[in-house]
Structure 1
């Protein structure tokens, strides 16, 4: 299988100069290519392009492929050039993959299951999850060249720390801690992007000389104490995601969301208390499940636990704790049911970010995510 590369997310696109949209075809690129099982658009683009991250231009110019994210093993792609000399890949409709004894008919289920990064881009907030110890090592804003509270574009900020001249930086604010509901330990702290800047003085901490940056964009008021990171640091994502189920069983919880709400809908971004330590990877699909209401079956008939009296709850709890048989009060723990699906796209050691792909009802804080093998 062709080696897969990682495309850098142009997370701070407004602050960066545009990359030229010139497609350079490799000298050894084949005139035709037959799609193999396991291929992806990025893989194939890497065969043809010197800059494979420009793959959308190579594919989206193709009028013969309604959905370029559905390609099939056995399809033949041909490299052609348009009237302006721009390369594009087209489907060879005349080509049929045949064997001496078998003619294979491919069904929709055989399509290579991928989600392009471009699909996620409108929903990304570029938030990160960082350890407090890591945040403490970052350069941070001391003040500005004007004593104003609201920093604007082109304003100069002074930074404690050594920066690289001409380097673009993201300016972040330390937010709330992400708490694991099971262990009650701090998993990481929210790092919210509030602006971008370019350094023009490197600074020297040992000499007491601050670095200087010029603000490029402001998403939110920049304050003294906000810290800086190179713009691309922590913002790398795959060019597209191969959708798979985890190889190992996993169970976790939705512990937060980038919108700070408690109820979420399709395409909202949520944070899970599971990460690489639990073998999670970008592209993993997890079920979202919700516990059904518990029921107490008492002398007056079945009643939801939340609607029962304090006495009935205590009686039912005693039975659950000590295994005592109580014919008048019995607590029934009902199964959890699937309420949606999500896709993991950014993974840290002990937490991850995921986008809700499908909902059967509104998703809530505390809903569980799992895959049972």
Structure 2
């Protein structure tokens, strides 16, 4: 019995040792021994100097008692790279060089604090599209017309809305656009719903009763991206647009397999800081801040009697026989970029392209890094 216990303890110790070794982060060869935090730095930027996989930054900062909240790293702090007794790298504030005051350490929203990836960094690149289904769109109040009987309203106009609004509240005016179609199932995942204007309600409107007819709500137009048309939909300005002040960068702890189904740039190819739409959403456990890789299938090759050729260059006979025998060779897919999810709807997500190796295209696959 004692022998079995001893063997079990040894096995457990070996397993723990293996697990600890597996968790050791790989530090870049060109990583600096120390670094002075500068204004505008993010934990992502700093971690990228030390790790080839900067989304693993929590492991680099953990077990640092003097950094109880790594989101509160300030410009001027000197960061030092050390290793613990198990050989695990740790990045910490060098207290011998600069010490934070207790007041500053307790101020969660202190000026100048370094965050993971601040919204302010990517906000200029974001658009205000939403993905709503048919039922959601049909349930929204909509534009009836203007105070000048024009079919399209611009700034300085008063617009009238069928629905009950809250006076003094700002609203967004949206237009239903193209459907987001799942390339696998062919089903509609939602509709592009684009912000075209903002307005503020000053009359609430009223639904019909036995004693009185329906009364239109009234809004004063504040800003216009495109002219407002009759039938455009109205919803509270911040609904669906509330994003975190900073994104907690992470990798999904489950397998992700999806596709880039659209882009807000309307271009055939796009690159870093462009916005893309994914066919994965809340029902697939997607969350803001998740990092994913962008992958592309390499061109298929037929190894025919005259040697290997791409399918597009093969003869008709080779194409007919490609699914028979060993002459059709499956080629791997390669990583062409990375993206971060920043807004999630029920069945789709919006993401920003963080890095690219080649131009990104609609149809490229998304999967775990």
TM-score, normalising length: structure 1: 0.71
Distance 2:232 2:91 in 1: 48
Task: Measure how far apart 1:128 and its partner are.
Answer: 0.5
Distance 2:204 2:77 in 1: 49
CA contact (8 A) 1:114 1:240 kept: yes
Aligned match for 2:355, one of 358, 363, 369: 358
Distance 2:264 2:164 in 1: 30
Task: Measure how far apart 1:88 and its partner are.
Answer: 6.0
Show the counterpart of 1:305.
311
Higher RCO (Cα < 8 Å, 6 or more apart): 1
Distance 2:111 2:266 in 1: 43
Distance 1:233 1:291 in 2: 37
CA contact (8 A) 1:143 1:159 kept: yes
Secondary structure of 2:312's aligned partner: helix
Aligned match for 1:77, one of 77, 97, 100: 100
Aligned match for 1:119, one of 100, 118, 121: 121
Distance 2:186 2:244 in 1: 32
Show the counterpart of 1:16.
none
Distance 2:265 2:111 in 1: 39
The CA deviation string for residues 125-144 of structure 1, in whole angstroms up to 9 with x for no partner, is 11111111000000000111
Distance 2:215 2:117 in 1: 47
Show the counterpart of 2:139.
137
Task: Measure how far apart 1:227 and its partner are.
Answer: 0.3
Distance 1:299 1:126 in 2: 54
Show the counterpart of 2:24.
none
Distance 2:157 2:130 in 1: 25
Secondary structure of 2:183's aligned partner: coil
Structure 1 residues 350 and 89, CA gap change in structure 2 (3 angstroms): closer
Structure 1 residues 65 and 227, CA gap change in structure 2 (3 angstroms): farther
Gaps of 5+ in 2: 1-64, 80-89
Structure 1 residues 311 and 357, CA gap change in structure 2 (3 angstroms): same
Show the counterpart of 2:267.
261
Distance 1:338 1:367 in 2: 10
Show the counterpart of 1:367.
364
**Root mean square deviation, CA, Å:** 2.6
The CA deviation string for residues 97-121 of structure 1, in whole angstroms up to 9 with x for no partner, is xxxxxxxxxxxxxxx9811010111
Secondary structure of 1:205's aligned partner: coil
Show the counterpart of 2:160.
158
